[in-house]
């Protein structure tokens, strides 16, 4: 398969974010419209056996070429439970230690978001030429935020799937949490929660797990932060406190670490599994149904 250093584009900029085009010899529909050419940031194939995509997003073009992937199975029998959050993107507990991913990183994202909001609010009071410049600057900031979040997602998924054979991940339903009719959190927390894009991370994690022979099991997380890990008492007045101080037994535990540990305990209670050289077999009992998943490792 040959490589090209230049792409030849022959399409009008699409109004929607994603369009698919036929690709051959380095061009998409070269005879239909006036040809545009630019230099690609990295070599691309001359032709592709699979369907390609040409994506236009916030003033940038992305050429997407699928490639076959060789599965590399992880041999780790370790288990980890994850607790998604806002102040810390993920807190994990594997029985030996607590790990924190993205602790304090939201501060930088919030500053970028605030800069974007300022540009948008100021753009309504300037001339059309300045407005276009401000919109382009806002698009660059959005793209930077997206790239930072994607980097966290991909590096985290790579680390987890390389070091753990079984991952417990709660059903973190952000869309329901931020609905105005039912939410109990501030708008600032809502923006931070949506910016972390936990559902998009779940898709990336499951995709990486499938390539490495890991198992990602969806589990429940209700009341895991409020429940004391020492005595089992549910702290109804916990609120947004960073430290879980049990009013019953007096134990003090970091909120996210306590939640991750309780997620692990609940998942172990509600599921049964075996780990061997032949693979991981998980039997999850829910109501009257039994769901069996098997994966080689």
Per-residue pLDDT tens over the stretch 192-250: 667 888 889 999 999 999 988 888 988 887 777 788 877 877 887 787 777 888 878 87
Regarding whether 153 and 198 lie in a shared domain, the answer is yes
Query: Distance between CA 219 and CA 27 in Å, rounded?
Result: 46
Query: Distance between CA 268 and CA 270 in Å, rounded?
Result: 6
Number of domains forming the structure of the chain: 2
Quote the tokens at residue 205. Answer: 């994690």
Q: For the segment 128-151, what is each residue's pLDDT rounded down to a tens digit?
A: 888 889 888 988 888 888 889 999
Residue 70 maps to a domain: no
Residue 214 maps to a domain: yes
Regarding whether 287 and 147 lie in a shared domain, the answer is yes
Residue 73 maps to a domain: no
Regarding whether 54 and 188 lie in a shared domain, the answer is no
Q: Which domain holds residue 174?
A: 79-295
Residue 121 maps to a domain: yes
Give Rg (Cα) of the chain. Answer: 24
Quote the tokens at residue 173. Answer: 């339903």
Strand partners, 166: 79, 215
Residue 69 maps to a domain: no
Residue 74 maps to a domain: no
Give percent of the chain above pLDDT 70: 71
Regarding whether 197 and 165 lie in a shared domain, the answer is yes
Residue that terminates a domain, selected from 39, 64, 89: 64
Query: Distance between CA 211 and CA 204 in Å, rounded?
Result: 11
Q: Which of 19-23, 86-90, 281-285 has the lowest mean pLDDT?
A: 19-23
Quote the tokens at residue 146. Answer: 């997206």
Regarding whether 282 and 139 lie in a shared domain, the answer is yes
Strand partners, 37: 8
Regarding whether 88 and 42 lie in a shared domain, the answer is no
Regarding whether 234 and 132 lie in a shared domain, the answer is yes
Regarding whether 136 and 18 lie in a shared domain, the answer is no
Regarding whether 290 and 160 lie in a shared domain, the answer is yes
Regarding whether 113 and 52 lie in a shared domain, the answer is no
Residue 178 maps to a domain: yes
- Note the pTM of the prediction, 2 decimals: 0.72
Regarding whether 99 and 153 lie in a shared domain, the answer is yes
Regarding whether 98 and 45 lie in a shared domain, the answer is no
Residue 112 maps to a domain: yes
* Helix, strand, coil share (%) of the chain residues, nearest 5: 35, 30, 35
């Amino acid at each position: 398969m040959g490589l090209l250093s230049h792409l030849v584009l022959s399409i009008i900029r699409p109004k929607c974010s994603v369009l698919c085009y036929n690709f051959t010899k380095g061009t998409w529909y070269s005879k239909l419209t006036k040809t545009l050419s630019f230099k690609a940031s990295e070599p691309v194939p001359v032709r592709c056996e699979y369907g390609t995509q040409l994506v236009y997003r916030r003033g940038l073009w992305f050429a997407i070429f699928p490639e076959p992937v060789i599965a590399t199975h992880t041999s780790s029998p370790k288990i980890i439970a994850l607790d998604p959050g806002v102040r810390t993107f993920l807190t994990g507990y594997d029985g030996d230690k607590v790990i924190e991913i993205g602790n304090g990183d939201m501060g930088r994202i919030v500053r970028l978001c605030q800069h974007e909001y300022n540009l948008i609010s100021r753009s309504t009071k300037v001339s059309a030429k300045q407005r276009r410049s401000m919109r382009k600057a806002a698009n660059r900031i959005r793209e930077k935020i997206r790239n930072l979040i994607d980097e966290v997602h991909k590096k985290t998924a790579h680390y987890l799937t390389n070091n753990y054979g079984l991952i417990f991940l709660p059903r973190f339903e952000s869309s329901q949490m931020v609905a105005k009719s039912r939410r109990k959190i501030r708008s600032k927390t809502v923006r931070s929660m949506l910016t972390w894009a936990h559902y998009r991370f779940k898709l990336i994690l499951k995709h990486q797990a499938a390539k490495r022979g890991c198992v990602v099991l969806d589990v429940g997380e209700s009341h895991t932060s409020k429940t004391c890990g020492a005595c089992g008492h549910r702290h109804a007045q916990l609120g947004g406190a960073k430290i879980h101080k049990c009013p019953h037994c007096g134990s003090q535990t970091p909120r996210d670490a306590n939640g991750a540990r309780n997620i692990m305990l609940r998942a172990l209670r509600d599921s049964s599994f075996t780990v061997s050289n032949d693979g991981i077999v998980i039997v999850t009992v829910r109501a009257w149904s039994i769901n069996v998943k098997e994966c080689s490792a």
